[in-house]
Structure 1
Amino acid sequence: MSYSFPLEPGKVREFAVATQVGHGRSAEVGTVIPPTFLAARVFWKPADQPAVIGDRMDRTRVLHAGEEFRFHGRVPAAGEVLTVTERLGDEWRKEGRRGGGLHFMTVVTEFRDADGVLVAEAISTAVETERAAEEGAR
């Protein structure tokens, strides 16, 4: 499934001010977005669209383990509308330092411009602990 992600100049400006990047109040159509603005895509994802990880992880034990952004050529600009698609990436397991297994998954989010050209990707990594953390554990 895919959905539209408008890079609204007002939202780009708000993000730039909130994150204290150089654009500040001057964001307007054609202004290159702060690269991490792509994380705001979650606010445009339709509520009825299921999560890519689905039932593969117990969300009560999932932590966000990382976010990486890759750009393929130019960085998108305010005023564009990108098409967003998500897919499951890599999946692996390893033993935790304090015992217990860790289940890792990546979700690859593709951002395409109006011509269908891939302009960026976001790779989100989630980790599910085998069991809930013990109270007071450090």
Structure 2
Amino acid sequence: MPSHGVEEEDKPCRACSDFKSWAKKQNRVTFTAPTKQPPPKPKDCPLDKDELGKATWGFLHSMASYYPEKPSKAQSESMSKFFNIFAQFYPCEPCALDFQEDIKKHPPKTESRDKLAKWLCERHNTVNIKLGKPVFDCSKVHERWKDGWLDGSCD
């Protein structure tokens, strides 16, 4: 049973908030002075929304870039199922609900590596636009997530 009469659903969720917002909801002091930086978070803390998102997109894009060029029917079906299941269980509920709606409108394209990588990049760009972040050039997904930049900077 939750303490202090707070329902489980009403508790602040690290996976749904950036760290500063989460800390404020916890009634903790945050540093706002421009010259003073907050102490670094220990590395073994739960991920906040931004950390979770970055790690998740990195995983998903890498998975898409290593997906078979010509998947079997079973692989294609499994990948479609994966994204639908993933959308149900993503730890940030508002993010999960948005992704569920997006993939209803734009179902996973699992016929090939290139189609899956482009589809995922487009889904990521939908989120980037919503958050006011730059849009990624989807023609460069394999450079970013598998092969490395053409300038050799990843070698």
TM-score per shorter chain, which class?
under 0.3
Q: Which has the higher contact order (CA 8 A, sep 6+)?
A: 1
Given the two structures, how large is their TM-score scaled by the length of structure 2? Answer: 0.23
Quick check: which has more Rg, 1 or 2? 2
As a proportion of its length, which structure holds more helix?
Answer: 2
